Copies of this chain bind each other. A is one copy, B any other.
Amino acid sequence: MIKEKLEPDVHTQRENRGIQKNDIESQSSLDSGLSHFGFGVPANVVIVRYGELALKSSGIRNWYEKILIKNIVAMLDSRGIPYSHIRREWGRIFIESTDARAAEAAADVFGIVSTSPALMAEPSLEKAARMCASLAQDLIQEGESFAIRARRSGNHPFSSADVGKTCGDAVWSALEKEGKHPRVNLSSPDREIFVEMRQKMAYIYLETFKGVGGLPLGTQGSMVVLISGGLDSPVAAWLMMKRGVMIIPVYCHNSPYAENAARERAFECIRQLQKWAPGYQFTTYEIPHGPNLQSFIDLCNRKNTCLLCKRMMYREAYEVMKKEGASGIITGSSLGQVASQTAANMHAEIYQLSIPLYHPLISFDKTEIMDIARKIGTYDISNRPAGGCAAVPERPEIGANYDLIVLEEQKMNIETMVFSALKNTKVLKL
């Protein structure tokens, strides 16, 4: 394979809002109502860019890219988007599809930095220039300024500057002939045409969708996630999925201290997360947690109920983690979000336990968590009324003494409680 040198380029940015697409606002050259190449010339390929993968060693990169392509295929299939061919070419994946939804769907695949619906042409100056001119005639209106953004990789008898100049001249002449008084403006043009000249093909495109980023799902092993159905835990799960982690949802059912609506809400959140993982099937564990709460209320200081509850959930999740061969446990904890989420309490929750916990939201503000929840489609689900947990005391501990918590636990047979909860656990495919 020829090692290609990529020259820098500039992209228009269009915010991709994930699976909920109805609120997308285009910030691209196509604002005037044209959709993709929907003006007679349909896009026939999607350029897919993935950033961080390029930094890996060739063995790991090769493996990551294969998983990435598998995940793209699953995403296109899950949305019923047809494509004729997907290929990999040094630093890029190309999806051959004329479906206008393909670029947005690919942008929702973890590991992808950006996508562009494009037109393919032979990698010659003449072909690229002709195509730019033809596009420009439809795209650029009287009085609008334009710029050609050219980049080049591979071996050609011309430079990227030559590509820019030849295509720019062709656009200028075509507009001039139509009496549109063309203007070139390289710093802030009204319209941009991007030309990417590669070894085997040239690609011409007008807009770029921002991808979700991260690493391909399935490349970073699996972790258990404690899903409550509230705003935080689904966002924590999604962030770790974004980083390549396959999740194993665990729902601790607090009945009779929680309503069934809470369970339904949690399951709905898991189903929504599942949409971000087409081609994978989560294994969900539903653990009966009510009897544990009953013991804490009966036997321990009431203000410690929530701390004891958390410690028990971690122990139960740890058993699931070991059974599933997973590597950690994800929580939705965010420091200081509620009065009882103090650093002292979080220390007490894990004191003398040896469990690999991950709190991806630990430094997040509530507003940041809400923004992500909206983007990933769990916000409205988590906001459904589901009743609170009736076991929460009026005044929970906020500055826990962790030695005391250990003494509290000695009043019960913790191991038997964990064993009993797991024995009555349901394994679900939601």
Whether B242 pairs with A363 at a CB distance below 8 angstroms is yes
Closest to A60 in B: B339
Whether A327 pairs with B346 at a CB distance below 8 angstroms is yes
Closest to A333 in B: B358
Pick the contact of A220: B215, B240, B336, B358 (CB < 8 A).
B336
Interface bits A157-197 vs B (CB < 8 Å: 1, else 0): 00000000000000000000000000000000000000000
Interface residue? A351 (CB, 8 A):
yes
Residues on B with beta carbons closer than 8 Å to the beta carbon of A389: none
Residues on B with beta carbons closer than 8 Å to the beta carbon of A347: 327-328, 356
Interface residue? A84 (CB, 8 A):
no
Whether A243 pairs with B362 at a CB distance below 8 angstroms is yes
Most buried by B among A222, A339, A343, A354: A343
Interface bits A89-117 vs B (CB < 8 Å: 1, else 0): 00000000000000000000000000000
A350-B343 contact, Cβ under 8 Å, with A52-B366, A220-B335: no
Pick the contact of A335: B60, B213, B245, B368 (CB < 8 A).
B245
A57-B339 contact, Cβ under 8 Å, with A52-B366, A221-B344, A346-B328: yes
Pick the contact of A336: B243, B357, B366 (CB < 8 A).
B243
Closest to A222 in B: B343
A336-B215 contact, Cβ under 8 Å, with A343-B220, A343-B223: yes
Residues on B with beta carbons closer than 8 Å to the beta carbon of A230: none
Whether A220 pairs with B342 at a CB distance below 8 angstroms is yes
A346-B336 contact, Cβ under 8 Å, with A213-B365, A362-B240: no
Residues on B with beta carbons closer than 8 Å to the beta carbon of A214: 363, 365
Closest to A51 in B: B367
Q: How far is the CA of A344 from the CA of B245 in the complex (A)?
A: 12
A350-B356 contact, Cβ under 8 Å, with A244-B335, A363-B243: yes
Pick the contact of A343: B327, B336, B353 (CB < 8 A).
B327
Whether B356 pairs with A354 at a CB distance below 8 angstroms is no
Q: How far is the CA of A55 from the CA of B239 in the complex (A)?
A: 25
Closest to A215 in B: B336
Interface residue? A275 (CB, 8 A):
no
Residues on B with beta carbons closer than 8 Å to the beta carbon of A242: 363
Interface bits A221-261 vs B (CB < 8 Å: 1, else 0): 11100000000000000011011110000000000000000
Interface residue? A375 (CB, 8 A):
no
A362-B358 contact, Cβ under 8 Å, with A51-B367, A220-B342, A336-B243: yes
Q: How far is the CA of A368 from the CA of B212 in the complex (A)?
A: 12
Most buried by B among A60, A214, A220, A365: A365
A residues sitting closer than 8 Å to B (CB atoms) are 51-52, 55-57, 60, 213-215, 219-223, 239-240, 242-245, 327-328, 334-337, 339, 342-344, 346-347, 350-354, 356-360, 362-363, 365-368
Name 7 A/B residue pairs within 8 A (Cβ), A-sorted.
Answer: A51-B365, A214-B363, A240-B335, A240-B363, A327-B344, A327-B347, A359-B362
Going nearest first, the 9 A-B pairs with the smallest beta carbon separation are: A327-B343, A239-B363, A360-B363, A221-B343, A327-B347, A243-B363, A354-B354, A347-B356, A243-B335
